[in-house]
Amino acid sequence: MELASSAFVSGQAIPTRHTCDGEDRSPPLAWRGAPATTRGYAVLCDDPDAPGGSWSHWALYDLPASVHALPEGYSAAGTAKQGLNDFGRSGYGGPCPPRGHGPHHYRFRVLALDVEALGLPPGAKFQQVADQARRHVLAQAEVVGVYERRR
């Protein structure tokens, strides 16, 4: 399974427009190669370089198996559920590392699932979504973007 973004190449810088210093809009994502038995997807984004441990930026779940791409600024209205990120908001919260903390790596992951729905309400916490999705993963793919806020 493969995941890519037309906004940045894996391992390279995330454009400012997708961060707290810009428009804070989710980047476009597209994937292919999921197993034929896929019944749904979850999309997760976190920052493992955060000072207090991993920081969650996005938990999108109950995404239909017919979806293979998300446009920039995806809202999920009517098609999926958004979980709470560590900013305390539902939906996407862009990269916003502490100034002068160095480059942070943002893992965008798509998980192909063997279920259509995870059985969680809208606004579930990131870790709840990740834990529930982990029980149903058929395949997954990742793209990593880098962002740094200098002093």
Write the pLDDT tens digit of every residue in 112-135. 999 999 999 999 999 999 999 999
| Dist CA 102 CA 68 (whole Å) | 33
SS3 38: coil
User: Greater confidence, 23 or 151?
Assistant: 23
pLDDT per residue as tens digits for the range 35-89: 999 999 999 999 999 998 899 999 999 999 999 999 999 988 888 999 999 999 9
Q: Is the pLDDT of residue 105 over 80?
A: yes
Domains defined for the chain, CATH in brackets: 2-147 (3.90.280.10)
Cα torsion 109, 112, 141, 135: sign: positive
